[in-house]
Structure 1
Amino acid sequence: MTLGGACAGIIRAFDWSKTSLGPIEAWPGHLCSTVSTLVNSPIPKVLMWGPDHVMVYNDGYAVIAAGNHPKALGGRVDQIWPEIWDFNSRVIAAGMRGEVQSFRDQHMVLHRNGAPEDVYFDLFYTPVLDSSGVPGGVMCTVLETTQRLAAERDLRASNGRFRAAMNAVNGVLWTNSADGRMVGEQAGWSALTGQTFEQSQGYGWADAVHPDDAEPTVAAWKRAVETRSIFIFEHRVRRRDGEWRHFSIRAVPICDEDGEITEWVGVHTDITEQRAAEDALRAHARTLEREVRHRERAEEQLRSLNETLECRVAAAVEERRQALAALAQAQKMETVGQLTGGVAHDFNNLLQVVSGNLQLLARDLAGNERAERRIASAMEGVQRGSKLAAQLLAFGRRQALEPKVVNVTRFVRGMDEMLRRAIGEGIEIETIASGGLWNTFIDPTQIENALLNLAINARDAMDGQGRLTIELGNATLDEDYALVNSEAVPGQYVMLAVTDTGCGMPPDILEKVFEPFFSTKAEGKGSGLGLSMVYGFVKQSGGHVKIYSEVGHGTTIRLYLPRAMEREDVEVATISPDVTGGSETILVVEDDEGVRATVVEMLTDLGYRVLKAVDAQSGLNVVESGIPIDLLFTDVVMPGPLKSTELARKAKERLPGIAVLFTSGYTENSIVHGGRLDAGVDLLSKPYTREALARKVRHVLANERQRANAIQKAAPAAKAPDMSDASTASCTVLLVEDDALIRFSAAEMLREAGFSVVEAAHGEDALRLLERATIQILMTDMNLPGMSGREVAQKVREKVPGVRVVFATGEGHVADAGDATVLRKPYDMRDLIKALEPLRR
């Protein structure tokens, strides 16, 4: 028997005759071999032999035994470890029955150093057979995991603190003149610092900056203004309560169509808590790195003992590492998405103020060509700003999508000319489309923007020379793929891939490409929002994004878009109707003073009587005052304990006939779920034009009146005429109306007038009903969710040539109605008969 290590010497010197094992010279060969293997192992091991479980162990186990070593050598398990004998007795008994057992992260309370101590172990129990083939003892391999678990707990705590700090981030928006001076009212800056209007003007804002930071800040700001470059800086600002806070600053120049800077727009973001969290995170990361190195050394030792076990441990460690990395990335992207969504909301409010006042100013300056050109130029700037806000909302998955069933092959080929203009003649475009391509349920405008962004990124990566390949095909992502790619959901997709022959990207860049404002382009050459928008839009649509890149060879980005089982929706060109107003009373609830003043003036200009409130509670007070109100026009995101949705509900309770129209630049999850508006909700997204506001108000008011008519049921004067004449019977109307109450009322009036009625809540239902119903008249609302009334009419005419069409609408004017009959809401039985009677066959 060959023995090595410190414990070997103790074993040789120990008087084993006093134990049930007997003198060491008389030990059987199998016991000697087992003990020899044990003491020469670098892994902590202990052999518990015989009916009284005498302990024999190696140097590794001596460290675990601590204060019980060396008396534990030759001792009995129940005497050395009485505090865990209940556990050991069951495990040893099972081992003596020939059972192999293992325990991961087993918690125990040991007294190995004279006091209770919480420890954790990975334990592996193996029976050891004697010469007769019967278990004579149990071998236990012991790996202490106490420090590793403590490190993991510390890491979770650290991540929790970091998330809380990110959720607390808030920003202050400000503007400066073209030459870099603060001009005009700066409500956000004043609220933050407490400076008055006079104190902040020019470079007076620097007085609120920490004395050590003020001079470097002004110098860096002037350099950015001189070089017309994006300004990025950090400094400390004295809050109005006197506390110094750390802020991250980012400012960009806004240029007119001639490339001249008109103003600077910047954001101060409070990063005080973020910096503190980062310091703590770095400290914990260093601790974790030490524990990881310790774990790697232990794994290397274990690998030499048991290759199969080492592979399992390594796989588990890698799986845990990938899970932690995926979790951290998902939490990071979600947090940044919330932040960008909030910024987009505030930005859209600012754009609404600018846009509304420009439109009002245009009416005042009608006929002044020079002024009209400048206003048109300013409106183009508003549109660009609106596009930027839309990209932020797309990344944050906060935009209200308008998905349709799209055949991507036809869609991409229709964009061929646009793509060629965008990327230039130096790049060859190749489109490869598989046969039998499935349809996909996606927002056409967003997928067009996504493809255009990918093509432009590819052009820049190739410096205007190379090959751009667009590939289309069906794809099925299985469970195995989803295990490796945690964000993917197994299922059927339409795959859209864009490949370039550009410079490619290294792995460290690939990890950041979907983060907002991250760009590999030169300063001023890109906003860093293109891929962020693509990522957010695809994820919100239920899809998946995968990017592959190799330095010097190029990049491929694959978009997996959810498959749609329905037929393709056909796009129909529409002409906007003329703008009309009214004389009803509208209550405007808006917390932003500039937006509120602008929309009140626009509605007043349209002829409405306008009431206003600064928050939901004030709006409820107006409702409860008893003043007659026809329409509640309220922002979705509202300060205070009373939310806008609750205001709408209470207003409906008090004024059953009131119509409700929501508006917002950022809907959160209050009225939009799964990227689509909740049923029965009307939303006007910011920024909106005077024309869009006028049309939406008329539509919502008309629908509400139609619902009121449905409740009250028409007067006796509107009863249907006698329909006993056989020539007037057997005429079937397909009624398409998303409002259930209006649909029910209209169907009843049609039946009373002698028509047969087939009802549908939206365009998709209507097309399915055509497969089993024969109709002569289509009566459809103009503003339907998904397909519009015009689109429904076109598809029905394709399936049923000669069908008569009636458009029911609350808009003042319907352009391009063709041979269709227009029935204006609200309508009663007399109006309905007058519109449909001439259409009977």
Structure 2
Amino acid sequence: MAHPAVANHRSFAQGGSELGKLIDAFDWSATSLGPTAQWPPILRNTVELILRSPAPMVTMWGREGIMLYNDGYARIAAERHPRQLGAPVRESWPEEADFNDNVMRVCLAGGTLSYQDAELQLSRHGTPEQVWLSLDYSPIVGDDGGVAGVLALVVETTDKVRAQRYLAGEGERLRAMFAQAPGFMAMLTSPAHRYELVNQAYLGLVERVDVVGRTVREVLPEVATQGYLALLDQVYATGEPHTGAGTEVWLVGADGVSRQHYLDFVFQPVRDESGAVIGIFVQGNDVSVRVRAECAVRESEARFRTFAQAMPAQVWAADASGQLDWFNDRIYAYSGYRHEELLGDGWGRMVHPGDLHALRTRWTEAVATGAVFEAEVRLRRADGSYRWHLNRALPLRHPCGEDRQLSGQVAGWVGTNTDIEEQKNTAQRYAALNDDLQGQVALRTAERDRMWRL
């Protein structure tokens, strides 16, 4: 289906990715997609999304499954890149044609597929090789409501699977330790905390290569002043594990620059057959992205509340289900109610009984549909009188890319109550004046008609 040209369409290379440059330079007119200027918004947005993603992603567009992907996926494709760009997926991976045929059939019908550590035979370097991939496929809904293509998140887990199989062949002690380690891992022995075994994630975290056989103090002298060696000594001496959640640590990288990390980790004592501590198993995850995101959310919430407190209007917030959970001070001052009295559905105390049922109905409909909410309602003042207010609320939606299942869904609501009592009174006075003027005009017209009849 042809689409009108997109005026002044942005270059895909603006994000700085190599694939963005290749997509810009590719002759798409030779494919069923046509020139990029004619691509529909949903296709352009999807491509821009995957180009900005740090995770390997690919979209297979249309019935042919024309492939567009990002730099992360290109690394997985290896020598198959860049020939796969703009090619149908069936031709791109002929050795797994049946697998991809099933993916396209299911997803183009609106279904989703997910594979954890799927074992495949791929010829990425000229010869077949056994690889493991975690794959998530979702349909992309087009502008007409139909499925326009398939979006795939591809994570190669070959190293992880091979490591797991290797560890499964080791003794029970190693199986017990590494079975509980989804992130970085290290085995320390002796009171000196000497590295016996580390995984690739740990080496990536500390940015060191020559680790095994050396002590923690030798490899990471910077952690001594941060109290981590003392914690290791404590665990070894007491036999009690230590757990950290979102704990800050500064590590000196390979370039000599000290960088801040946040880690979830456990120091687990390892015992011999007699029960004596012989080492410490270190396992954890670098949660720096999560912690910084949480800090950003808290800072954003603080800015919002500061702004809301400074506003002259009454401001409130609700969760995705429509339950009110925050109010600025103007609401408390106006209504005389306390926070706990207004929470959830308690705001009904402020509403005039004659307006409450209709207001609840409209609010319930807005929450169910995610539509902008607006109503005029009488709100009770602390002295018992009621004043007209314009009650308006907007939905806050989860951003794109945060979570495919949550993306675009309502995350909460922000609303305001604006006093319109004077506007209402003015409108009523104008209406009364207009009625009076119309009455006078009618009387004068009748008098004129009577005089004409004389």
TM-score for the superposition, normalised by structure 2: 0.39
Structure whose alpha-carbon radius of gyration is higher: 1
TM-score for the superposition, normalised by structure 1: 0.22
Q: Which has the higher strand share?
A: 2
